[in-house]
Amino acid sequence: MNNHNAELLAACDARIKILLDTSAYIELEKVADNTGIDTIYELSRWYGDVEYFVSQSVFQELCKTKDNGLEIPNIHYDNVRRILEDDIVGDKTKHNEFLYEDKKGRIKSIKMNAISLADYGCILLCQNNKDLILLTNDHKIIKSANALINGRLMDVPTLFRYLATDSALNNIKNDPLNSTRKELKVKWEKANKWYEENGGYNPPKKVYLPLPDID
């Protein structure tokens, strides 16, 4: 096991640990640009029960998006502790073969959708760290990752719906009068509504993306 990643995750006391892939971050940026609701900022500012991370490969991909008008997330500059080291072996640009453990504890190989090195790395990080939930809006990743990481994945609308629940809002920080809870609930409902009305990605019907069970 990667000691750096193990130490980072062990030091995090949040019950929900989210790993963002490139597609998810770009979608969150679209929402921020069109609604003024900055999910990354709101999570950092208020939600003590939810923490998020990115992999080195995803960070590198996000750096390349700057030329396309997207800004590199401030979190990468200010909180390096949130960047997880990749567990990738090899330098192939595309991967379609995955290892997994069956119900009898045997390691097997399976070929699935071909995905990028960074996306492959995200799935591998979630396989090696059982408390990570993958946040993605990529159709291929959802189809590939669902079985490999036992359903520990969310798309962006699912995240918005979860953040608006009482279970999530009851754990926000520094809100003795509950005023921020009400404001945040309205924000996430607005973000989800905008996303649904403006071509937000709809996951395959056969894949069930439940809200995280933190009870």
- Tell me, what CATH number does 166's domain have? 3.40.50.1010
Query: Does 211 map to a domain?
Result: no
Query: Does 26 map to a domain?
Result: yes
Q: In the predicted model, is pLDDT for residue 20 greater than 90?
A: yes
Q: In the predicted model, is pLDDT for residue 135 greater than 90?
A: yes
CA–chain centroid gap for 105, Å, is 27
Nearest to 180 by CA among 198, 197, 168: 168
Nearest to 19 by CA among 144, 120, 111: 120
> Residue range 120-131: average pLDDT?
88
pLDDT at position 103 = 73
| Highest mean predicted confidence (pLDDT) among 194-198, 202-206, 209-213 | 194-198
Residue 211: count of CB within 10 angstroms of its CB = 14
pLDDT at position 35 = 93
Residue numbers of the domain that contains 7: 3-197
Give the pTM.
0.81
pLDDT at position 60 = 80
Nearest to 86 by CA among 61, 110, 66, 109: 61
Confidence of residue 111 (pLDDT cuts 50, 70, 90): low
pLDDT at position 215 = 40
> Residue range 95-117: average pLDDT?
68
Query: Does 212 map to a domain?
Result: no
Q: In the predicted model, is pLDDT for residue 55 greater than 60?
A: yes
pLDDT at position 17 = 92
Q: In the predicted model, is pLDDT for residue 212 greater than 60?
A: no
> Residue range 103-119: average pLDDT?
71
> Residue range 18-30: average pLDDT?
90
Report helix angle 22-35 to 179-197, nearest 10.
Answer: 110
Query: Does 207 map to a domain?
Result: no
Query: Does 145 map to a domain?
Result: yes
Query: Does 121 map to a domain?
Result: yes
